[in-house]
Amino acid sequence: MPISRIGYAKPLGSARSSLSGIFLSPYVLFAGGSSLTTVDAYDLNMVRSSPTYLSVGRGAMAAALVGGYALFCGGSYGPKSAVVDAYNSSLTRSTPTALSVAREVSGAASVGNYAVIAGGDSGSYSAVVDAYDTALTRTTPTTLSIGRGYIGGASIGSYALFAGGMDTGYAASTVVDAYNTSLTRSTPTALSAARYGTAGTSIASYAVFGGGYTGSTYSGVVDAYDSALTRSTPTALSAAREGLCATTINGFAMFIGGTLSGGRSGIVDIYDSSLNRTVGPSLGIARQNLAAATSYNTIWYTMVAGGYTSAEVNTVDVYMYTASNALKTVGGLAIASVKTIGGLAIASVKTLGGLQ
């Protein structure tokens, strides 16, 4: 397994759950959560800084990239929010045109020149779709085929996919809506099992959606869509769960944490580019409603932040892709030292940039 857990980064500035994470080179950003305005930025050495905060504190936002901007859209701080905060690579914040409808738990994905924000809870489950181009101009494409919230979002090829969710009848959905680079909507083969709160990410030739809740039980089902929108069903997660997050590290999809029948989970399921599953190193603290994002310069890192155990946490776990052909130097360490990262003494690990 080329992915190792190498420790903790400096904790978030505030403990929180339902935060959003994204990589906007050269920073991993963790924004909002609960009803907070806090934004934490980690550079390529995992050194944490605190950029300008969100314009409105909120959690359960949709996050997407477009045209050199990280967008944090909607969410809730009690009332539903339509606010969109945009950060550029210098961490300067701007506030583009708001969403057309205030809502939380929307799906988000990028395709072509657009960041697409789909559905969500506006008081009822919404079918509204907002798209932002590289100039942060908002348009409103064709709505989802059915309104729903707690949607999984991921991109593959020329499509942004929005999978599952809770529909207007408060039932788990199998529906998948796809938007192409012209924002034309189609409806591919449905998910193999209805669920909401599924986590989505992309690897190689697939958009992959894992886990969720059926309305009566936790789901471990995984559905994958290729660039022709053909669906396959890889091996299920090692444990059925919801409240998990997903990210991709150098061709491996990671499904991380969540809640399962026995309580909070620290499980990390990893799928390779052929959709084969292995179980990776567990989180240091089992938790749900967490966020993850992956950075890359000469080394791939995944950072897993925040979440809820019996209380909100500020923990940030760090995973590293450690295949020898990807390794050069980290924080000044020699290549030979990096190749043995799993066996490094604690004193050495502490020298890796912002690792604790």
Residue 341 pLDDT greater than 80, yes or no: no
Residue 67: band (very low, low, confident or very high) from pLDDT cuts 50, 70, 90: very high
In sequence order, the 6+-apart residues with CB closer than 8 A to the CB of 100 are 82, 128, 130, 138, 140
Check residue 4 and give its pLDDT: 96
Q: Percentage helix, strand, coil, to 5, in the chain?
A: 5, 45, 50
Check residue 325 and give its pLDDT: 40
Check residue 75 and give its pLDDT: 98
Residue 327 pLDDT greater than 70, yes or no: no
Tell me the mean pLDDT in the region 40-48: 97
Instruction: Report the distance separating Cα 9 and Cα 355, nearest Å.
Output: 4
Tell me the mean pLDDT in the region 77-90: 97
Instruction: Look at phi and psi of residue 82 and say left if phi exceeds 0, alpha if psi is from -120 to 50, else beta.
Output: alpha
Residue 185, Cβ neighbours under 10 Å: how many?
17
Tell me the mean pLDDT in the region 311-322: 96
Tell me the mean pLDDT in the region 64-79: 97
* Token reading at 275: 């959709």
For the ranges 57-61, 193-197, 258-262, 329-333, the lowest mean pLDDT is seen at 329-333
Tell me the mean pLDDT in the region 2-7: 96
Check residue 337 and give its pLDDT: 34
Residue 352: band (very low, low, confident or very high) from pLDDT cuts 50, 70, 90: low
Residue 128 pLDDT greater than 50, yes or no: yes
Tell me the mean pLDDT in the region 335-351: 34
- The closest of 192, 189, 194 to 150, measured between CA atoms, is 194
More confident residue, 297 or 220: 220
Instruction: Indicate yes or no: pTM above 0.75.
Output: yes
In sequence order, the 6+-apart residues with CB closer than 8 A to the CB of 345 are none
The chain-wide mean pLDDT, for the chain, equals 92
Q: Mind listing the pLDDT tens digit for each residue in 215-254?
A: 999 999 999 999 999 999 999 999 999 999 999 999 999 9
Residue 144 pLDDT greater than 70, yes or no: yes
Residue range 3-349 in CATH 3.40.50.1110: no
- Which parts of 138-290 are beta strand (E)? 138-139, 148-149, 152-156, 159-163, 166-167, 176-180, 185-186, 199-203, 206-213, 218-226, 231-232, 245-249, 252-260, 263-271, 277-279
Check residue 356 and give its pLDDT: 72
* Token reading at 62: 């949709």
Residue 348, Cβ neighbours under 10 Å: how many?
16
